[in-house]
Amino acid sequence: MTMSTRTLIRNARLFDSEHARFIAGTTVVVEDDRIAEVTQERREAEAARVIDAAGMALLPGLIDAHVHVVAASHDLTGLAMQPASLVGAEASRIMRDMLHRGFTTVRDAAGADAGLQEAQRRGLYEGPRLFVAGFPISQTGGHADMRPRGLRGTGFFCSCAGIGLLGAIADGVGEVRRAVREQVRTGANQIKIMAGGGIASPSDPLEGTQFSREELRAAVEEAEAANLYAMAHAYSPRAVTRAVEAGVRSIEHGNLVDEATVRLMKREGTYLVPTLSTYAALADEGERLGWSRAMLDKLARVKDRGLDAVRIARAEGVPVVFGTDLLGHMHGRQSGEFLIRQQVQPPLEVLQGATWTAAQLMREERQLGCVAPGACADLLLVRGDPERGLQMLAEPGQGIALLMQAGRVVFDRR
């Protein structure tokens, strides 16, 4: 008979992520991988490990709602030609680093598959809990169609894409339905659709729309039929509007949105997932990485509009979720997203977007992103006062004193 493990965390200044506030003098009881109790009363430490949280803040594990854990390189086409086994090994390093930054859960926005998810679940790879999208659904010439302009045909690229960063190309309602069903069959937790142009793709205009309205609705219908939801890559007001009207649950990026668009998002209950750190990283490194002039021009058009989009969304009451969308060596900038967002959001609102609001988006708000009875025991003890700023999360090597995932202490630096 396996004995259960019990941990008592005392004297905690606990972040109530649902209400974005702190509650002092809290005791949290962890049984195995779950939170058993959260109380203001004293609890005895019989047969339990005791952690004294005095002088530190206790947070739920962090959630990054837009990552690509298999993106070990910014060269996505070259990456897709590598053996899937090698890509998985590279992903294990990226995942471990994310976990050690405090991200106990991530929503992968295309690339990771059920195999990586299971490897993490079994403990073969140390990393955040994965929610995977599989292959993104893209029209011919859309944002996930990475074929060079001069290349005709699809067979070579489809057969070599051992990872899901290159798109599942689908044209017409029937093909879109089949592509979504294939992602469902292979274990997707959410469906990623490319509803507008992008920066890193060679052929599509940034402010263009992609897929017909009928195709977009078909993708959403198929996702909902499987009790999943659709997330949509889109920048321009027109592309965002069409995706929201089709019923997507979240807009990824959305840098160019205007007031009318976010009012529609508010009415429809759509979430916004900005990814501001990736633009800062690419502005610094895009030219050195060999990006074309057209791609750099598109980057320049969106870079400074991301903060404006967050301001507009907040003003209309649209929920804003933490996401980063980094590639290759730029994954190391993940934690910098906290400081970028502080330019337009109060610190506790930023923190809420990386906990409760992110979990709500993923329909996991009673399991993840909170410290409450029955929730997964994903916990961080951090130095400093998050109400005054999130520097401790931006520099996790110094700021995070203790990290627990599913009741297991990953590290203890107290």
Phi-psi region of 55 (alpha: psi -120 to 50; beta: other; left: phi over 0): left
Q: Are residues 87 and 195 in the same domain?
A: yes
Q: Are residues 386 and 314 in the same domain?
A: no
Cα 321 from Cα 327, distance rounded (Å):
19
Give the gyration radius of the chain's Cα atoms. 21
pLDDT of residue 368: 98
Q: Which of 137, 108, 120, 383 is nearest to 246 (CA)?
A: 137
In degrees to the nearest 10, what's the CA dihedral of 333, 334, 336, 342? 150
Residue 228 forms part of a structural domain: yes
- Contact between 221 and 232 under an 8 Å Cβ cutoff? The reply is no
pLDDT of residue 89: 93
Q: Which of 119, 26, 116, 84 is nearest to 381 (CA)?
A: 26
Which residues, 6+ apart, have CB-to-CB distance to 206 below 8 Å? 196, 197, 198, 199, 235, 236, 298, 301, 302
Alpha-carbon torsion (51, 40, 54, 372), positive or negative: positive
pLDDT of residue 10: 95
Identify the burial level of 33 via C-beta atoms within 10 angstroms of its C-beta, where 0-12 means exposed, 13-18 middle and 19 or more buried. middle
Q: Mind spelling out the 3-state secondary structure of 302-351?
A: HHCCHHHHHHHHHHHCCCECCCCCCCHHHHHHHHHHHHHHCCCCCHHHHH
Residue 1 forms part of a structural domain: no
Specify the number of domains making up the chain: 2
- Contact between 127 and 88 under an 8 Å Cβ cutoff? The reply is no
Other beta carbons within 10 angstroms of residue 332's beta carbon come to 13
Along the 414 residues of the chain, how does pLDDT read in single tens digits?
456 789 999 999 999 999 999 999 999 999 999 999 999 988 877 768 999 999 999 999 999 999 999 999 887 777 877 888 898 999 999 999 999 999 999 999 999 999 999 999 999 999 999 999 999 999 988 887 766 555 555 443 343 334 566 778 999 999 999 999 999 999 999 999 999 988 776 667 788 899 999 999 999 999 999 999 999 999 999 999 999 999 999 999 999 999 999 999 999 999 999 999 999 888 887 777 777 777 777 787 888 899 999 999 999 999 999 999 999 999 999 999 999 999 999 999 999 999 999 999 999 999 999 999 999 999 999 999 999 999 999 999 999 999 999 999 999 999
Q: Are residues 94 and 224 in the same domain?
A: yes
Other beta carbons within 10 angstroms of residue 412's beta carbon come to 11
Q: Are residues 190 and 308 in the same domain?
A: yes
Q: Are residues 105 and 147 in the same domain?
A: yes
Residue 276 forms part of a structural domain: yes
Q: What domain range is 389 assigned to? A: 6-61+369-412
Q: Are residues 126 and 241 in the same domain?
A: yes
pLDDT of residue 161: 36
Q: Which of 333, 327, 376 is nearest to 355 (CA)?
A: 376
pLDDT of residue 2: 57
pLDDT of residue 157: 39
Q: Are residues 101 and 129 in the same domain?
A: yes
Residue 351 forms part of a structural domain: yes
Q: Are residues 287 and 407 in the same domain?
A: no
CATH of the domain at 405: 2.30.40.10
pLDDT of residue 43: 83
pLDDT tens digits for 118-169? Answer: 999 999 999 999 999 999 999 988 887 766 555 555 443 343 334 566 778 9
Q: Are residues 53 and 130 in the same domain?
A: no
